[in-house]
Amino acid sequence: MKTELITMAAPARAAERAAAILRAGGLVGLPTETVYGLGADGLNEAAVRRIFEAKGRPQDNPLILHVPEAAWLDRYCLDIPAEARDLAARFWPGPLTMILKRREIVPDAVTCGLETVGVRCPDHPAALAVIRAAGVPVAAPSGNRSGRPSPTCARHMLEDMDGLIEAVVDGGPCGVGVESTILDLTGERPRLLRPGGLPLEALEAVLGQITVDRAVTSPLAAGERPRAPGMKYRHYAPQAPVTVVTGAGADTARYILDHAGPGTGIICFDEYADSFPGCAVRPIGASADTAEQARRVFDALRSFDGAAVTAIYAQCPPDAGLGLAVANRLKKAAGFQIVALEEGA
Ligand code: AMP
Ligand code: MG
């Protein structure tokens, strides 16, 4: 299959072209503010199944339904709590996915048979225009091949999906750079299933304290059942093994320098960009600038593939603000191979 690259030179025509492909059951790589998604008509079971094939995605990892406005929530969800409407009014369009009870109209292929569905309204003009033109909710996971770092520009989308899908819409680089925050509102208390582009602190300012699922910061124990199916898979991983080093910047830089050799890949804060001579260094932003780190972390992880890198070390921000999402992506890329230098290093 030849994958068409749709530019946004003529936005209305581009949206109509992508929407026509979706309505015909095709797959389209779509820019959002978080990462690029691999979209299909979310009410077309056969089209949704093709997402799993193109990604090599396990059959039990559900997709998020993307809608153009909060008013669509009632079409796909039941028993919507007041908190969900309040959060949608405050944070949509934006990087927040809410897990709610689903209506029958949502195909099993989207939810993987769960009685719940994840819904989000993306904050990106191209994504919104395509969804509106298609007139259907767009089911989309991130547009990477399963297990790989998520795509944050059209080039990344093509790296993984060229020849496998009908089209990619080029909406430029993603402004947020990590996936949406996933909040489960179907239990007794709200629960954070995945940290993402909307900081936990912003949600807690509205809802009070939120339970953070253990899988966000630690690996699943043997036999432990994940709350969200996606949590059980190794994720975001480049080819070479990753080790995450947590602690003060100067300490982690020293540790990494001690363990690095020629051919080591390094993800570091900008302040330490010159500290690793002979290594493949990828600075991802100043240590205090977690928003910039979020924008660059997936590109950095991807950039080592194809380079002669056999091991990767990464500095890691603390678990605050967007740092929680950046740290989570790095730790999952490392399969939770973490060196913690916090105490007495
Ligand atoms: P991705 O954005 O590629 O990571 O894929 C969508 C994410 O949403 C996955 O981590 C899923 O596990 C999660 N997700 C989608 N629907 C549900 C649901 N009903 N319950 C829990 N998690 C969900
Ligand atoms: Mg993904």
pLDDT in tens, 133-164: 999 999 999 999 999 999 999 999 999 999 99
Please tell me the pTM assigned to this model: 0.96
Q: CB under 8 Å to 91, separation ≥6 — which residues?
A: 198, 202
275 lines ligand 1 (CB under 6 A): no
141 lines ligand 1 (CB under 6 A): yes
Best of 193, 231, 235 for a ligand 1 pocket test (most atoms within 8 Å of beta carbon): 193
Digit-coded pLDDT (tens) for 270-310: 999 999 999 999 999 999 999 999 999 999 999 999 888 99
328 lines ligand 1 (CB under 6 A): no
**pLDDT surpasses 50 at 188:** yes
Q: State the amino acid at position 46 in one-letter form.
A: A
Residue 59 DSSP label = T
> Reduced to 3 DSSP states, what percent helix, strand and coil does the chain have, rounded to the nearest 5?
35, 20, 45
Q: State the amino acid at position 219 in one-letter form.
A: P
- Estimate to the nearest angstrom the gap between the alpha carbon of 276 and the chain centroid: 29
DSSP letters spanning 303-333: HTTTTT-SEEEEE---SSTTHHHHHHHHHHH
248 CA distance to ligand 1 middle (Å): 33
Alpha carbon separation from 131 to 89, 125, 138 (Å, rounded): 19, 10, 6
pLDDT for the residue 118: 98
Query: pLDDT averaged over the chain?
Result: 96
Q: Is 283 helix (H, G, I), strand (E, B) or coil?
A: strand
The token pair that represents 292 in the structure block: 């910039």
What is the C-alpha to C-alpha distance for residues 128 and 131, in angstroms, rounded to an integer?
A: 5
* pLDDT band of 343, cuts 50, 70, 90: low
What is the C-alpha to C-alpha distance for residues 331 and 234, in angstroms, rounded to an integer?
A: 10
With contact defined as beta carbons under 8 Å apart, do 51 and 29 qualify? no
5 CA distance to ligand 1 middle (Å): 27
What is the C-alpha to C-alpha distance for residues 262 and 329, in angstroms, rounded to an integer?
A: 25
**pLDDT surpasses 90 at 212:** yes
Cα dihedral 143→147→153→155 (10° resolution)? -90
Helix H segments across 26-69? 45-55
What is the C-alpha to C-alpha distance for residues 111 and 45, in angstroms, rounded to an integer?
A: 11
Q: Quick one: which of 30, 18, 25, 295 has its CA closest to 142?
A: 30
With contact defined as beta carbons under 8 Å apart, do 336 and 231 qualify? no
62 lines ligand 1 (CB under 6 A): yes
